[in-house]
Amino acid sequence: MKEQKAQLNYLRMAPRKVRLVANLLKGLSISEAEAQLLINPRKAKEPLLKLLRSAIAAGKEKNLKENNLFVKSIFVDQGPMLKRFMPRAQGRATPIQKKTSHITLILGESEKSKETRFKIVKPEKIKKREAEKIKKEKAEQKQKIEEIKKEAKPQAQGFMRRIFRRKSV
């Protein structure tokens, strides 16, 4: 069985937090793993997603079939700690450990190709000219809405003021 290995070293995130997201990916096909990372709310998803996409791209270079790839294993090890100190009361200092992680992702190629349950569509980039046109249209719509609101306000203003005064009469 062919494999593709990808590593991410010195990630400035505690390994304990990264493992929570990494353990969800074990054994999943790459499309399911990518979908799992895209919907995950945790911060560790971004570097893991980048690492997964990097491993997939490297696998394509090795002539591995994208449909047959799955996450064979993923493990998160602790890297070096940055040791800092925080000042406390009465001239004391308490140590702070800023932890780092080393992530290793191994993709395997299975003989059977699985049907992908998810289709991940990447948003297309909009050109500057098109973006400016869209902004102008939105600004025009806001102006129209404001004009409509100004026309509707004067009718009920006096009545509402009398009812909802701050001081009682």
Q: What is the pLDDT of residues 36-88, one digit of tens each?
A: 999 999 999 999 999 999 999 999 999 999 889 999 999 999 999 999 999 99
Is the entire prediction scored with pTM above 0.85? no
Domain boundaries, the chain: 3-109, 128-163
Measured from the Cβ of residue 156, the count of other Cβ atoms closer than 10 Å reads 9
* DSSP string over 132-160: HHHHHHHHHHHHHHHHHHHHHGGGTHHHH
Q: What is the pLDDT of residue 157?
A: 59
Q: What is the pLDDT of residue 158?
A: 67
Indicate the CATH number of 3-109 among 3.40.605.10, 3.40.50.720, 2.60.40.650, 3.90.470.10. 3.90.470.10
Instruction: Assess whether pLDDT exceeds 80 at residue 115.
Output: no
Residue located via tokens 């800092």: 84
